[in-house]
Amino acid sequence: MVNNGLANNLTKEYVLALAGNPNSGKTSLFNSLTGSRQHVGNWPGVTVEKKEGSYVSGGNTIRVIDLPGTYSLGALSEDEAVARDYIINEKPDVVVNIVDSTNIERNMYLTSQLLEMGAKVIVALNMYDEAKSKNIEIDINGLSNILGVPVLPTIATKSQGLDELTGLFFKAAGSEYNKPLIINYGKEIEEVINKLSDEIKNEAGLLERYNTRWLAVKILEDDAGIKNNIKKYKVYEKLEKIRNESVKRLESLWGDDIEAVIAEKRYGFIKGIVKETVKRQMSAEEKLTVTDKIDMVVTNRFLGIPIFLLAVWGIFQFTFTLGNPLADLIEAFFGWFGGFVRGGIQGAGAPELVVSLIVDGIIGGAGSVLVFMPNIFLLFFAISILEDSGYMARAAYIMDRFMHILGLHGKSFIPMIVGFGCNVPGVLATRTLENKRDRLVSILINPLMSCSARLPVYILFTGAFFSANQGIVIFSLYLLGIVLAIGVGVVFKKLVFKGETSHFVMELPPYRFPTLKSTFIHMWDRGSDFIKKAGTIIVAVVVLVWVLSSLPAGVEYASRESLLGQIGAFISPIFKPAGFGTWEAAVALLFGVVAKEVVVGTLGVVYGVQDEGLQSVIAKMWTPLSAYSFMVMTLIYIPCVATIGAIKRETNSWAWTLFAIGYSLVLGWVMSVLVYQVGSLLGFA
């Protein structure tokens, strides 16, 4: 990064906030700036993801805050509220506004709002190479003069322009004041803004926190979040009175609501900027871009869904073709390591109980889960490529048409796609749905999407019985989850949540070649959660399983007479019609409610796997049909504890949470029984 004289004179930590539209390259810029020095959490008080990282320049640390991607700062969603409130309350040293150079007009709406707030802003014209390839000419100096802030071109995926960005950052951070952008909203509105501004100036508390003119505009727009924040001030009632009286007159004058009029004026200002500073020369051949040509095929009404299903099938073929040999090596390592540790601690004279805890419980349980680490990482690698390339947005677009036919909200498919990674963020992603009924339906069906935590169970059983067709069998389970989610959603929509479905408008970003750096960062962010879980929750649960397998004192380890065996024997008759009525299967499903990966860890402990390998034991104890039935049950039955908690938070209702638990358990039992009984009738038993 840049190392300039000004930076050398600064000693404090600086804060840089990244703000931009979705698909503007904001995440790529964040990754390029921070590399591996980043972490993910949640913003205080909400479940919106918070990404934070840092880098060093000229001996100074710059903390980078990646604000949620938004199109505006109207606070109509939690993402917008988080972004806006952070800028207002935390006052970062500089806000870098990432703008898609190929679509400046759309991106400038957020830019105009940032500048009206009076934040110190640097505009980064990202994807500048794509703009040039499309013959888009941007007058950077002219744009900078009109906006009154630095503007520079960047190509985040190639780390181009980042040194210049850091240099501008230090200059902007060192300046005392940034003159807010003033948009002329017309004589009538300006008069009301001035009246409100005059009253605001009488309140010292508001002057310290907000830009006066910006606050007046937000009050006029009836911004609920801002109004709620200023209710405690004495001047609030007078401001509200001026606003209400003025709006009544203005709306009768224009025949439209005041928010729409202000937005129209803002867009008019943006159109003027674009006309002055952006020129595009198009030849006849360029009217259809590469993206347009690809979309003619992949979003075709007849070909779209088959291509999507083919892409998902391809992901699994890729995952297992490359992952299985690596998984075999890890399994062999844990077999050797368990034997090595056993010999070492037995030679040291350790009691057999301690030997069993370490080897059978911790190493055997955690090792039986970690053996699937290559497959998990490869799955996330493939999904990241589809997301970064722009194809995943097309998947939601493709399914939108189909889901509307069924009476479901097309936008519901986005949380369903998120649920492939983990059901918890899938449930949280339903916040993007405006209609409460659509949102509740999406929450209830999301756990039916097969998350990555179920993948170790699938790999274990398909490796034992369907190794030649592993990708196809696992693909069938993912497809079953989608079909069930849509089917259950239709039933809920028809019987429980009657009402009209709102329409779905989605931006389709241009196709791009994913960068290896960005793809590996996404893969690690998601895959590392699997490792952390294996090292914490899963180890804790398998130790508990080991304890229950060893009690009461004197019983044979992991036998039917142990406490674990007794618990399993009590539950197991329920699953006999589904073909896996053994106590081992019952306790695996029971502990799998904590985390689905624990199903494999539990089986590893109760079967006392050592050198032989869990898949080999499974192949002797089960049949292909009972194995598939068990995987169907694992797919559908009770969500994990974390997902249950997310459902409770998002619905704010124990009734709906218990309903989600109950219906999924019944549906899982019914489907697994159907699979086994029908399969038996067809002679597959």
Is residue 323 within 8 Å of residue 378, measured between CB atoms? yes
The residue type at 487:
G
> How far is the CA of 109 from the CAs of 215, 417, 518, 667, 679, in angstroms?
17, 29, 27, 47, 58
Is residue 450 within 8 Å of residue 457, measured between CB atoms? no
- Residue 341, C-beta contacts closer than 8 angstroms, at least 6 positions apart: 358, 359, 363
497 or 672: which carries more pLDDT confidence? Answer: 672
Whether residue 47 is predicted with pLDDT greater than 60 in this model: the reply is no
Region of 683 (left: φ > 0; alpha: ψ -120 to 50; beta: rest) is: left
Q: What DSSP string runs through 278-296?
A: EEE---GGGGS-HHHHHHH
Q: Which pLDDT belongs to residue 560?
A: 87
Q: How confident is the model at residue 625 (pLDDT cuts 50, 70, 90)?
A: very high
Q: Which pLDDT belongs to residue 612?
A: 59
Q: Which pLDDT belongs to residue 6?
A: 40
Q: How confident is the model at residue 2 (pLDDT cuts 50, 70, 90)?
A: very low
Q: Worst-scoring range by mean pLDDT, 216-230, 252-266, 307-321, 562-576?
A: 252-266
Q: How confident is the model at residue 396 (pLDDT cuts 50, 70, 90)?
A: confident
The two tokens of residue 407 are 């009476």
Outline where 118-235 has alpha helix (H).
128-133, 140-147, 162-174, 187-200, 204-209, 212-220, 224-230
pLDDT digits (tens, 9 = 90+) for 634-649: 999 999 888 998 899 8
Highest mean pLDDT among 97-111, 268-282, 641-655: 97-111
CA angle 381, 384, 385 (to 5 degrees): 90
Beta strand pairing status for 49-57 and 60-66? antiparallel
CA angle 473, 475, 480 (to 5 degrees): 100
Q: What is the mean pLDDT of residues 65-82?
A: 85
Question: Can you tell me the distance from the alpha carbon of 305 to that of 491, in angstroms, rounded to the nearest whole number?
Answer: 22
- On the CB side of 430, CA atoms within 13 Å amount to 27
Q: Which pLDDT belongs to residue 507?
A: 57
Q: How confident is the model at residue 99 (pLDDT cuts 50, 70, 90)?
A: very high
234 or 532: which carries more pLDDT confidence? Answer: 234
Q: What is the mean pLDDT of residues 275-285?
A: 73
Q: What is the mean pLDDT of residues 355-378?
A: 81
Q: Which pLDDT belongs to residue 11?
A: 64
Percent of the chain past pLDDT 90, that is, above it, reads 39
Q: What is the mean pLDDT of residues 60-74?
A: 91
The residue type at 656:
W
The two tokens of residue 565 are 């065996």
What is this structure's pTM?
Answer: 0.69
> How far is the CA of 678 from the CAs of 470, 573, 582, 632, in angstroms?
22, 19, 20, 14
Chain centroid, CA 564 distance in Å = 37
Whether residue 141 is predicted with pLDDT greater than 90 in this model: the reply is yes
194 or 74: which carries more pLDDT confidence? Answer: 194
Highest mean pLDDT among 173-182, 388-397, 556-565: 556-565
Q: Which pLDDT belongs to residue 671?
A: 98
pLDDT digits (tens, 9 = 90+) for 440-492: 888 999 999 998 889 999 999 999 999 989 999 999 999 999 999 989 988 88
**Mean pLDDT score of the chain:** 86
Whether residue 74 is predicted with pLDDT greater than 60 in this model: the reply is yes
Q: How confident is the model at residue 96 (pLDDT cuts 50, 70, 90)?
A: very high
Q: What is the mean pLDDT of residues 46-62?
A: 85
Q: How confident is the model at residue 100 (pLDDT cuts 50, 70, 90)?
A: very high
